[in-house]
Structure 1
Amino acid sequence: MATPAFEEIAETFEFLDEWEDRYRHVIEMGRALEPLDASLKVPATKVEGCASQVWLVPTLEHGRFDFRGDSDAMIVKGLIAVLHALYAGLPLDEVRAVDAPAELRRLGLDEHLSSQRSNGLRAMVERIRATAEKAEA
């Protein structure tokens, strides 16, 4: 159950043969994200468990989940963009139904990220899921 935006990323990854090209694509996706204003980079939005500094700011509009994010590391900012493609615009109940590890495996991220980056990615997914659960309650 992936969004069209995530499917587009998956298709691009299938087209790119080398992991270095995929890595560059993720970084470019991160560069395309609008940076968060410094006023939003506060302890409440910071994601713990990431080696880099990561902030996620969720929004809920018309029952649909979205978020903005930022990081001080370019690859992590790209991972935020990947997660945004996976979750943005979904109804709250569908956010929790996303099998993020399976979807991210389709991209091969589990094979090519360091353990620290993988842990940070898991922490971001957990934050997104917890935020959706809290908003549903």
Structure 2
Amino acid sequence: MSLPASAEHALAAFSQCASWEQRARLLLQWGEQLAPLSDAERCDANRVDGCESQVWLVAEHDGQHWQFRASSEARLLRGLLAVLLARVNDLSVDELAQLDLPGWFTQLGLGRQLSPSRSNGLQAVLSRMQQLRQGALNH
């Protein structure tokens, strides 16, 4: 499966980091670039269950490809969401279903630093993406 351009960009940026500290700084910078969600979008219906920190996820699709927007109050998590969105946006329905999330974070050099709770939270976000995708397919 080929990577979207935004994922290629993330991979190039993170592969230049020599240490966890550099990757953490870059992660915070990526988190600051996330498009903010409106107050109306930060509602219970868009909240992702299974995350220790509050995470909201908004999805749009044109029948073929998905675009997700997400936000969190936690700065590091916003960065993780940003690199997750770089990987999933513009994927087809089938490509989203096949995404190897742990493999993506390992490619970025972030896999070892993800605590179990963060890893579970990101998996919950991906699961929510797949639920939204499945719900759209059933309509």
Is this a same-fold pair by TM over 0.5? yes
CA distance in 1 between partners of 2:68 and 2:43 (Å) = 15
CA distance in 2 between partners of 1:30 and 1:82 (Å) = 8
TM-score (norm. length: structure 2): 0.91
CA distance in 1 between partners of 2:33 and 2:24 (Å) = 15
Q: Which structure 2 residues correspond to residues 1-80 of structure 1 after superposition, within 5 A?
A: 1=1, 2-80=3-81
CA distance in 1 between partners of 2:105 and 2:127 (Å) = 14
CA distance in 2 between partners of 1:24 and 1:105 (Å) = 17
State the match for 2:95 in structure 1: 94
The superposition leaves residues 28-61 of structure 1 with CA deviations (integer Å, 9 ceiling, x where unpaired) of 1110112111111111110111111100000112
CA contact (8 A) 1:47 1:56 kept: yes
Over the matched positions of the two proteins, sequence identity in percent amounts to 36
Which blocks of at least 5 consecutive residues in structure 2 are unaligned? Answer: none
**Count of aligned pairs between the two proteins:** 137
Once the two structures are TM-superposed, the CA of residue 121 in structure 1 deviates from its matched residue by 1.0
CA distance in 2 between partners of 1:30 and 1:41 (Å) = 17
| Structure 1 runs of 4+ with >6 Å offset | none
CA contact (8 A) 2:15 2:109 kept: no
Once the two structures are TM-superposed, the CA of residue 104 in structure 1 deviates from its matched residue by 1.8
CA distance in 2 between partners of 1:98 and 1:25 (Å) = 23
1:122 matched to 2:123? The reply is: yes
CA root-mean-square deviation: 1.4
Instruction: Find the residue that maps to 1:67 and give its secondary structure.
Output: strand
Structure 2 letter corresponding to 1:125: L
TM-score (norm. length: structure 1): 0.92
CA distance in 2 between partners of 1:59 and 1:12 (Å) = 27
The superposition leaves residues 63-118 of structure 1 with CA deviations (integer Å, 9 ceiling, x where unpaired) of 21011111001111111111111111112222112222212221232210222211
